[in-house]
Structure 1
Amino acid sequence: MNFQDYEIYIVEIQNLFLHECFKINNTFIMSTMDDYLGKINIYSDTINKWEREMLDELTMKFYSQHKKIYNRFEIYASSYAIFFTNKDHLRFNQKEATSINYKNYLIKLISDQVNKEIDYFRMKDIDYRSLSHLPGLPGIPIYSIQGETPIMEAFVYNHEDDNWYHLMGDIATQYSVGIGSQYEKEDLNNKTSDIEYQVITSNRSDEMYLSLRSAIRRINESFYFNNYSSIFIYLMTTIEALAYKEYRGFKEVRIIIQHIIAKDRQDYDKLADYFKELSKVYRTEVVHNGKDLNDFFNDEEEIQSFLTKLLDIIKEYIIKVYEMNIKSFDDLYIAKNKRNKELHG
């Protein structure tokens, strides 16, 4: 990883507090810079010696050039991500940097890239019963909820003049509330052995992996919805895209899922009963007849548990397909037929 070969950006992340710098792909996530400058043993084992030296240099430059902004980071205890990307993929054009349209486009693109990386924390630790622990969306300053105008922003490092440039874009329309997630040093140890970390950081590019990764992205997007019925509909459309290239009826989709994740015949039958009820009672009424999910439950806690059960099944399927090293939909159908023989004889 050559410093000069990459475009380098910083975006802030609300409600995500790390006690060590943590690497996910080419994104380095850390809390306020005073925790790092001039200290040792503040990097997780995801980061090598060369990367530590590089990050020290970059954060020192940022600190010296943008102390006021750094102080804001510190006051509101937010985290920030230093994001590296190949110049051929995302190149900063200084001549266009005066254009608000260009800045908006760039900030949103950078923020979205970082957002995909922190899918790891959401996939690992968040469900619909713990939404108060959601990290915020990258690029939206946490100080915006303190009464100031929420402006999306990012910072770009210019290799030519050795400066960090501050980019400001549109007024933000969404930000996270709640207590957020905090990871102590012990929480970050051995994270690279997590199956969730392996899924998020995989360099696979086959059609099945891309389908699984898209499903993870959609699940994590749904955490920020403010309507439970919308979440349910989004999850159902996510499921339907996991089993076939083209659209199929829900019955065909759930049969694939049942075969892949069922532990035995009894478990298969339980899943079949669950999916039949899910389809007949909830999917038909909410998706097709326009009913609200609130019509079926007594309180919010019941709805959250209902959605979390569906979420857990989707995540179990994603992890199982990944662990089985299934690379294509054709391979998936072969695996389904093999499991059918194992389950039904």
Structure 2
Amino acid sequence: MNRALVVRQPGGPEAMQWEEWPLAAPGEGQIAVRQTAVGVNFIDTYQRSGLYPVPTPFVAGNEGAGVVTAVGAGVTMFKPGDRVAYQGQVGAYAQERLLVAERVVAIPEGVSEETAAAVMLKGLTAYYLLFKTWAVQPGETILWHAAAGGVGQIATQWAKALGARVIATVGSAEKAALAEQNGCDAVINYNTEDFAARVRELTGGKGVDVVYDGVGKATFDKSLDCLRQRGLMVSFGNASGVVAIPDVTVLSRKGSLYLTRPTTAHYVSRREDLLEGAGALFSAIARGDIKVSISQTFPLAEAAKAHEALASRGTTGSILLLP
């Protein structure tokens, strides 16, 4: 019998209950997958807590990898035995699950299922941020907050491969060492330094071209002070709390700045965009531009411990659940 972590009422990590979860045969356009690795992401915690509402009951999680066990009517792109990965389909914290085939990609040779599960959501996030939201060019300077996190480690390595100058922020000396190992040009501990003042110093008073901020409330205001005139503020997460802007004229006062709050779903909504992004991601891994860090693994049934670790903001790299 298939088992999964089911949320019947939003709440803390304990809201996820390890239960039997019947698996139907795949319908038209669907595939059934036996999962071998599941990624853990902040969006999982937001959905579990009710910050991002999901109709209950639901199985938590949004990213994983595994092996196709059956295909539904009309599915020609996959067959049983294929290794596949996905992101953006709620229901990942399960031993087996159904997926919409159009939203799944094949895992190329040379990439493990664990690696694929660790990078699909985080890697596609890095992809759209660096290539679509702001197409990073050689010689540009970017600021990346939480550079030692799952998205941060992938994105800063990728940005360096694109020829950007990367200024990073982290929350500890240990995380600073990781960011430096990943090639960041300058690393700022925002718990011990005024990161806005330091960024101005590092850029000769000019400011950076773009700020990528997945931290949210704790870093947003000072991030605006890090930008050059007409620079772009990309607020793509809220690990420290949701951002609110009571006075939009702050953008004009600080240099006619641009602000966007993007999400992966709007950048890979078409299959061709999903395949383009996944192809770029797996190619970057194959070239060695991105070295994937899996810092912790937990048994699938112990997902609550993984959520507690993520919420502590003391983690680095990717966290996996192993069914």
TM-score range, shorter chain: under 0.3
Structure with the higher helix share, 1 or 2:
1
Q: What's the TM-score, normalizing by structure 1?
A: 0.25
Structure with the higher strand share, 1 or 2:
2
Higher Cα Rg, which structure? 1
